[in-house]
Amino acid sequence: MPNSEYRPDLMGSATLKPCDPVEAGSWQSLELVYTAGRFGIDDTGSLKIAMRFATDFGPIQFDDPAAPGYTTVVASNGAELECRWEFKRNIRPWSRALYIGVKQHFLAEGDTITVRFGDLVGGSLGVRMQTYCESRFEFRVFVDAIATYDYVALPVSPQLKIVPGPPVTWRAILPTLKKAGSPFRLSIKAEDAWGNPSDQIDCQLQVKSSRPVRNLPDAVCFEKGAFALVLEDLIVEDTGDLTMDIIGTDGNVLCQTNTLRVEADPDLLHFWGDLHGQSNETLGTNTAAEYFRFGRDRSFLDVCSHQGNDFQIAGSFWKELNDLTSRLDEPGRFVAIPGYEWSANTAIGGDRNVFFRHEGRPIFRSSHAQVEDFCDEANDAHTAHELFERLKDEDCVCWAHCGGRYADIIYAHDTRLETSVEVHSAWGTFEWLLHDAFQKGYRVGIVCNSDGHKGRVGASYPGASFFGAYGGLTCYLAPELTRDAIFEAMRRRHHYGTTGARMYLDVKAIPSGPAELFVRDPRAYGEVQPEMARYLRMGDIARLDDDEIELAVEVMGSSAIERIDIFDGLDHVDTFRPYEAADLGARIRLTYSGAEYRGRSRTTTWDGSLRLEGGVLRRAEMFNNWNLDRGVTNSTAHAIEWKAVTSGNYGGIDMWLESANNGRISVSTKHVTAEVELSTLGAEETIFEAGGLDRRLALQRLPEVLDVRRTGCQVKCPVRKNGDTCLYVRVQQIDGHRAWSSPIYLFR
C-alpha cells in the first residue's frame, strides 16, 4: 500500500541472469538489467532494488574491485549515477535497498541500467547470496520515473530460488519425556554450513540405541531429495534414560540424540514448541504455509504459532492464518495456534504476543500503519492498556516480548492475560524483562522462542546478519498434545525455555507437608479454591507455612552441564557445579556478555585480542558464536584475535594452556582492557564490568574435559515471611546453551 500504484505497466522492466537456483551462502556474480519504460527516468529520478528486511545478501560495496560484494552500476546512455546500499532505504518489508539515482542527464524509453552484483572484473569473489533458503528470493525494483520520490513497483521483478548446500552437521532429536510403552519418533536431518536442512544426502545410516527399542531398524536409508528422515512408532517398555547414536557408512558416529527419559506413568509429558516467528506476508521469509511445514517437518516441533506484525496483517491474511492453523492442528501430532504480534511502539506498551485458543477471533491491532483496508479500524488497540481491555473476554494468552521494540511491562501488565515473559530469542537474551516482573511483584512464567524471520521456525540460525543468537525453544509440560492442554500449560506457567537446546529439566519444590496449590493466581482471580499438593512444579503458585523449602533440580543436557544457578527472584541463592576445585585444569574460559541498552541498537561488538605472557596456548575454541563471519581470526602460541557480538546473550573462548599456574593474560576489547595472573583464576568468575546493559567480561578456570550431561542438586531455600518467594533455576551447558525454569511462587 505505501508505494504509488500509478501505471506500473509504464515504468519499465527488469531481467536477471543467471536465474537458476543458487546455493545459500554461495558466492555469485549476478547481472540485473533495468530497461526504462514509457516515461524514462527524469533528471534526479531514481531506482531502488530492494530486498526483504531479514536478508543477509551482500553486503554491497562500490570501491574495491578485489573485495567481496563489489558492484558496478552503468547507464547505457552514459548518465551519471549515484549509488548507495542501505539497511533502511525503503518501506518495510523491503527495507534493504540499493539506491540508484540519476544524478545528471536522464533515461529515455529503452535506455538501460545494468547492475552487476559481485562483479568479477577486479578479482572479487562475487557477492554472497542470502545464507538461508527461499523459494522466491526477489529483487523488487521500484521506479521514481517522475523525480517525485514517489516510487512505483514494477509489475514483475526478477527472482530466483535459494537452495541448501551439502550436509555439514548432523542432528538427531528424540522427545525428552515419554511414558513407557507409548510410541515416539526419532527425527534425523543434516544441515549445511549455514544451518539449512540439506536435501543432498544419499546414504545408509545405522542407529545404535543405549537401550532396547522396539521397531528400531538396524539400518535406514536417507534418500537424496529428502530434507529429513523420521522413524515413527518406536517403543521402550522399561523405565530409564536413553540416547541414540547415528552412525555413517564409514562406521563413525555422525551425532548423538538428546536424552529421552522414560517413566512408568508420568502425569505430564514434554512437548517442544517455537510459537514466535513470521513469514513473507509480513516481515519474514517464505509463505506462512511453508513456515508451519518447516516447523513440523524440519524442526520437528510439537507446537507452533505464527506471529506476524499486526500493522502488516491484512484482513485476508488474518483469515488465511486462521485457515492454516485450523487445517494443520492435529491432536497428538502437531498443535498449530492462531495468533499475532501486537507491535506497538515501546512508549505505549511495546511488543506482545497474542495467542487465541480458537480460530475466527478478531485481530486487535496496535495500528493500521501498513494495512490498506480500514474497515475494522474500530477494533484497534493503540496502547497496551487498550489491548488488555479488548482481550479481557477473549479465550487467549499473551506474552511480553523484546524484538525491535521491547515490551514495557511496568507501563502495562494484565495478570490474567499476560502469563509469561520471553527471555530469549534470535534477538538475544533479555533476563531484565523477568527482573522487571519481579520488581513489580508479577507472577509470570518464562518462555523462549525464535522470533525467526528467515523461514526456519524451531531451528532459527541468525545467518550473516545483525542477529547474534540462535532462536529459543519452550518445553511445555502437559498430559497430552492438544491445543487445550497446551493452553492450560501456558496459563499455569508449566514450561521452561532454552536457547535452542532440547534439555530435560525437572524442578520441584518439596515442602515439609502438603501445600495449598492455586491453579489460578488468587491475586488476579480473587477467591480461588486451592488443592493440596505434596510437591510443586515450575510455574506453580502455592501457600505454605514452612520457613524453608527444598528445591530439587534434575537436568539432562544436550551437551555437558557447566553450572546450575538457583534464584529467588532478583536474589542469587546458590550455584551448583558438577565438578570440584580439584578437577580444575589448564583450561581458561573467557566470556563476554550483555547489550548496549534495551532498544533496537542493543548489539555490542566484542572484537578483541588476548595475549598470554609466561605460558603457551595449546588450542582455542569459540563457543556460542553463530555467525561464520565471526570467530577466532588469528591464533598463535601466545595470542588470539577474534570477532564477536552479543545482544544480551553471551559467548566466549575456551583456551587450553600448557599450564594454568604461571603466566598472565592481557585482554583488550572496545569495552574492557584487563590483565589477570593465571594463578588467581578459579571456578568463580573474575568479572570486569563494561557499562551498558549487564555488559561484562569474565575469566575463570574449568576442568580440561567436561562430560557430565546428567546431574542435579537439592538446595534448601528460605521462604520469605512477606511477599513472594520466586524460585527458579538457570542451567548453563558447556557449549553455551542455557535453560530457565518458570518460577515457583510461594507465599505464607
Over residues 475-498, the pLDDT tens digits come to 999 999 999 999 999 999 999 999
- Beta-carbon contacts of 316 under 8 Å, excluding residues fewer than 6 positions away, are none
pLDDT one-digit tens code per residue, 116-156: 999 999 999 999 999 999 999 999 999 999 999 999 999 99
The three-class DSSP label of residue 296 is helix
Half-sphere exposure for 519 (CA within 13 Å, toward CB): 7
- Residue 711 has a pLDDT of 98
pLDDT (mean) for 493-506:
98
Q: How confident is the model at residue 429 (pLDDT cuts 50, 70, 90)?
A: very high
- Residue 558 has a pLDDT of 96
DSSP string over 365-431: -S--TT-S--TTGGG---SHHHHHHHHTTSSEEEEE-BSSSB--TTT---TTTEEEEEEEETTEE-H
**Domain 169-266 CATH class label:** mainly beta
108 and 70 in contact (C-beta within 8 Å)?
A: no
Q: How confident is the model at residue 302 (pLDDT cuts 50, 70, 90)?
A: very high
| Alpha carbon of residue 123 to chain centroid | 36
Q: How confident is the model at residue 86 (pLDDT cuts 50, 70, 90)?
A: confident
pLDDT one-digit tens code per residue, 356-387: 999 999 999 999 999 999 999 999 999 999 99
278 and 294 in contact (C-beta within 8 Å)?
A: no
Q: Please indicate whether residue 579 or residue 1 has the higher confidence score (pLDDT).
A: 579
The helix (H) or strand (E) run that includes residue 535 is none
Q: How confident is the model at residue 3 (pLDDT cuts 50, 70, 90)?
A: confident
pLDDT one-digit tens code per residue, 57-79: 998 999 999 999 999 999 999 99
- Residue 414 has a pLDDT of 97
Instruction: For cell 510437591, name the residue.
Output: 535
Where, residue-wise, is CATH 2.60.40.10 in the chain? 169-266
What distance in Å separates the CA atoms of residue 249 and residue 85, rounded to the nearest whole number? Answer: 47
pLDDT one-digit tens code per residue, 556-606: 999 999 999 999 999 999 999 999 999 999 999 999 999 999 998 899 999
Does residue 261 have a pLDDT over 60? yes
What is the number of residues in the chain? 748
pLDDT (mean) for 152-172:
97
Could you name the CATH architecture of 583-703?
Sandwich (2.60)
Instruction: For cell 518445553, name the residue.
Output: 475
- Beta-carbon contacts of 703 under 8 Å, excluding residues fewer than 6 positions away, are 579, 583, 584, 585, 587
Query: Nearest 5°: phi and psi at 109?
Result: -55, 130
Could you name the CATH architecture of 283-495?
Alpha-Beta Barrel (3.20)
Query: Nearest 5°: phi and psi at 315?
Result: -55, -40
pLDDT one-digit tens code per residue, 173-212: 999 999 999 999 999 999 999 999 999 999 999 999 999 9
Choosing among 1.10.3210.10, 3.30.70.20, 3.20.20.80, 2.60.40.1510, the CATH entry for 8-163 is: 2.60.40.1510
Q: Which of 304, 301, 403 minimizes the C-alpha distance to 345?
A: 403
Instruction: For cell 541448501, name the residue.
Output: 164
What distance in Å separates the CA atoms of residue 603 and residue 645, rounded to the nearest whole number? Answer: 7
Where, residue-wise, is CATH 2.60.40.1510 in the chain? 8-163
- Residue 87 has a pLDDT of 83
The three-class DSSP label of residue 721 is coil
Percentage of the chain modeled with pLDDT above 90: 95
What distance in Å separates the CA atoms of residue 568 and residue 562, rounded to the nearest whole number? Answer: 20
pLDDT (mean) for 410-429:
97
The three-class DSSP label of residue 275 is coil
726 and 740 in contact (C-beta within 8 Å)?
A: no
Does residue 88 have a pLDDT over 90? no
Instruction: For cell 541500467, name the residue.
Output: 113
What dihedral angle (degrees, nearest 10) is formed by the CA atoms of 190, 194, 200, 206? Answer: -10
- Beta-carbon contacts of 464 under 8 Å, excluding residues fewer than 6 positions away, are 25, 56, 128, 131, 194, 627, 628, 629
Range from 84-98, 416-430, 656-670, 680-694 carrying the lowest mean pLDDT: 84-98
DSSP string over 590-650: EEEEEES-SSTT--EE--EEEEEESS-EEEEEEES---TTSEEEEE-SSEEEEE-EESSSE
- Residue 2 has a pLDDT of 67
700 and 665 in contact (C-beta within 8 Å)?
A: no
Where, residue-wise, is CATH 3.20.20.140 in the chain? 283-495
What distance in Å separates the CA atoms of residue 34 and residue 143, rounded to the nearest whole number? Answer: 10
- Residue 1 has a pLDDT of 52
